[in-house]
Amino acid sequence: MLSEPSPRDFQGHGTHTASTVAGRTVSHANLYGLAKGMARGAVPSARLAVYKVCWLFGCTDQDILAAFDDAISDGVDIISLSVGGDIAADYFQDSIAIGAFHAMANGILTSTAAGNAGPYRGKVSNVAPWTLVAPASSIDRHIIDKVVTGNHVSTLGASVNTFATKNRDDHPLIYMQGNATILPGDCTALPDINIVKGKIVLCKHFSDEIFITGIKGLIYIDDSSLDVSDLYPVPFITVSSLDGLNLLSYINNTKNPVANIHKSEEVFDSEAPLVASFSSRGPNTITPDILKPDISAPGIDILAAWSRVAPVSGIINDTRVVKYNIISGTSMACPHVTGAAAYVKSFHPNWSPAAIMSALMTTGLMTKHYIIYLCSSTLFFEASEISHFNLSSMLYTAKPMYPSARQDELSYGAGQLNPVKAVDPGLVYDAGASDYVQMLCNSAYNETMIKIVTGDASSCSGSSNGTARDLNYPSMALHVQSGKAFAAKFLRTVTNVGGARRYRYKAEVWADHKLNVTMNPSKLKFSELKEKRQFTVSVSGGPLPGNSTAPATVIWSDGKHQVRSVMVVYTD
């Protein structure tokens, strides 16, 4: 706690994220038999320097900035910061943006979490263009559960329920009415213990206080959380609203309703990776023409190390002690991206933070959509993963997608993390401190604001007029007014990192039918390492409706490298 400073991890969050980055290889890692197997961090040979910035009641700006200062002084290579709020703040008011700028100026990339306020638009909380922002995606292991009622009907749901089920271990099942007109199914207020003790409770809303009442289990009705498996001190399961209605019907039409929540099990998820429902979406509310988040990474049902002094469920009265835990969040995605960045830097120790970001973003995994024209107004799409393409009748967007809240690149940025490919990206979009200062100048930041961010005498004197989208960023975003035609240009510079031989890159463009996208020139030639070439991307289109997106992809291809930049045009 704040009154008792200690380096110990009393919450488990820091231990989990640190081991995801650099945990050593461990055989038979598991949580009560779940996710059992060999576990290791992204870069197990890396050395960790850990700085505690969060306490029982939150994370202070002073501690965050002090940790950045210490990390820079200690000469770290990458900073991983699984911290963020529910909304973005102006860069000069954001301790993470300020600290990350100083780190970037010293050659250190900062990886951050996108936030857990999804699936609504505009909730991504870390948006500074000099940080690498990670949304959370699913993996091919999904943890599910089931509740069996007294009429032998099984209902599937999601949870990390570690409690073994005994034969015929049924318990009375009740529904908490709450206030039927204001908040039906409410378990947030501490209920009468005599009513709920020894029973399984069906709720639409709950708080942690319910777990000190002696309940035998909790069934939570929530459609938005079915892709995430949560862990609690009692048997727990999340079910859909439709299944919740069926359970309520069973309760209302049965004299003595009973139920049994089984222990969770693992199933293969063939649809992975999909962006998590909780993962914060763009657009970037501070700099609308910079796309955030950047690159998605595993963040659902992640097994990693856990502090032995932290409650496994995060609830104080949970006394179970474990070595490993399974949790979800963009905090879990962030260290995956950090590890990938460290992996790339191990091959290219002299690359700038922007070059590493570019390598990861331009090599993300993609999906292709075959477009079958049945008539002038009908399109069918069939998706499958690809690594190379050369067909003119396809629309390319990045993978993954969240089917019930699909918002394209506003959800997952440049696609799914692909560390091995990022080691050899071919070309990179590089940038440095002066480029970011120029972007701030183009975004109407005054000198006082800029000096708070940079900590030096940087100013806008002599700066040319421009826009934020002039920043040499690996992705492209354009915020337009709904109902009006639009046209814009993106000037970009790519640097050859593929080697000192001759390279010939050809431009490829795949755009939504509502967009007209061109690249000029359409060919780039390189003969030397670190050689630079400029090009312009032009985009135009007719009116877009409100709250809509139109994606595109621009690619430089030499037959070996596919240097892909996503673009999204969007309206409020």
Q: At 429, which CATH number?
A: 2.60.40.2310
Spatial CA neighbour of 142 closest among 270, 42, 323: 270
Residue 385 pLDDT level (bands cut at 50, 70, 90): very low
pLDDT of 499 reads 85
Q: Which residue has the higher pLDDT, 374 or 233?
A: 233
Which CATH number is 252's domain given?
Answer: 3.50.30.30
Q: What is the mean pLDDT of residues 371-379?
A: 35
Span 200-221, average pLDDT? 92
Domain boundary among 331, 351, 371: 351
pLDDT at 285 over 90: yes
458 and 344 share one domain:
no
Q: Which pLDDT does position 400 carry in this prediction? A: 47
pLDDT 10s digits, 143-158 = 999 999 999 999 999 9
Residues 523 and 458 in one domain: yes
Which residue, of 351, 386, 409, is where some domain finishes? 351
Phi, psi (degrees; rounded to nearest 5) at 165: -95, 130
| Residue-level pLDDT at 304 | 98
Provide the 3-class DSSP secondary structure of residue 313.
Answer: coil
Whether residue 68 is contained in a domain is answered as yes
Confidence of residue 402 (pLDDT cuts 50, 70, 90): very low
Whole-number average pLDDT of the chain: 89
pLDDT digits (tens, 9 = 90+) for 539-551: 999 899 999 999 9
pLDDT in tens, 11-54: 999 999 999 999 999 999 999 999 999 999 999 999 999 999 99
Q: Are residues 310 and 330 in the same domain?
A: yes
Residue 416 is classified by DSSP as B
Which tens digits make up the pLDDT trace of 455-500? 998 888 766 679 999 999 999 999 999 999 999 999 999 999 998 8
Q: pLDDT tens digit string along 173-201?
A: 999 876 554 456 778 776 678 889 999 99
Q: How confident is the model at residue 562 (pLDDT cuts 50, 70, 90)?
A: very high
Model pTM above 0.75:
yes
Q: How large is the angle between the packed helices 95-105 and 447-454, nearest 10 degrees?
A: 70
Q: For residue 28, give the CATH number of its domain.
A: 3.40.50.200
Q: What is the dihedral of CA 217, 218, 224, 230, to 10 degrees?
A: -40
The answer to whether position 386 is within a domain reads yes
Residue 165 lies in a domain: yes
Question: What is the Cα–Cα distance from 68 to 110, expressed in whole angstroms?
Answer: 10
In a domain, 328, yes or no: yes
* Residue 360, C-beta contacts closer than 8 angstroms, at least 6 positions apart: 132, 294, 295, 337, 340, 341, 344, 414, 417, 418, 419, 422
Sheet (strand 78-81) strand order: 78-81, 109-113, 131-134
Q: Does residue 509 or residue 368 have the better pLDDT?
A: 509
Contacts of 388 (CB under 8 A, 6+ apart): 562
Closest CA to 534 of 544, 542, 526: 526
Query: What percent of the chain is modeled with pLDDT above 70?
Result: 89
pLDDT at residue 353 greater than cutoff 70 = yes
Mean pLDDT is lowest, of 103-117, 167-181, 290-304, 315-329, for 167-181
- CB neighbourhood size of 364 (10 A): 26
pLDDT digits (tens, 9 = 90+) for 413-460: 999 999 999 999 999 999 999 999 999 999 999 999 999 999 998 888
∠ CA 86-59-13, nearest 5°, is 85
pLDDT at 367: 59
Residues 264 and 286 in one domain: no
DSSP state of 434: H
Cα(496)–Cα(530) distance, rounded to whole angstroms? 5
* 319 inside domain: yes
484 shares its domain with 555: yes
Contact in structure between 137 and 249 (CB atoms under 8 Å)? no
pLDDT band at 522 (very low <50, low <70, confident <90, very high): very high
Percent of the chain with pLDDT over 90: 76
Higher pLDDT, 287 or 383: 287
Q: Are residues 120 and 192 in the same domain?
A: no
Residue 229 has pLDDT above 80, yes or no: yes
Residues 448 and 528 in one domain: yes
> Within this chain, do residues 153 and 72 fall inside the same structural domain, yes or no?
no
Same domain, 369 and 296: no
Whether 512 maps to a domain, the answer reads yes
Query: Same structural domain for residues 130 and 162?
Result: no
Q: Is 7 within the bounds of a domain?
A: no
- Confidence tier at 166 by pLDDT (50, 70, 90): low
Answer with the one of 268, 301, 318 that is the final residue of a domain: 268
Residue 396 above 60 pLDDT? no
Question: Does residue 363 sit in the same domain as residue 503?
Answer: yes
* Full domain range(s) for residue 199: 141-268
Q: List the beta bridge partners of residue 302.
A: 327
533 SS3 class: strand
Q: What angle do CA 419, 423, 427 make, to 5 degrees?
A: 120
Is the predicted pLDDT of residue 339 greater than 80, yes or no?
A: yes
Considering the domain architecture, whether residues 239 and 157 belong to the same structural domain is answered as yes
DSSP SS3 for 454: helix
Total domains in the fold of the chain: 3
**pLDDT grade for 169, boundaries at 50, 70 and 90:** confident
CB 61 within 8 A of CB 81: no
pLDDT at 1 over 90: no
1 in a domain, yes or no? no
The conformational region for residue 275 under phi > 0 = left, psi -120 to 50 = alpha, else beta, is: beta
pLDDT of residue 46: 96
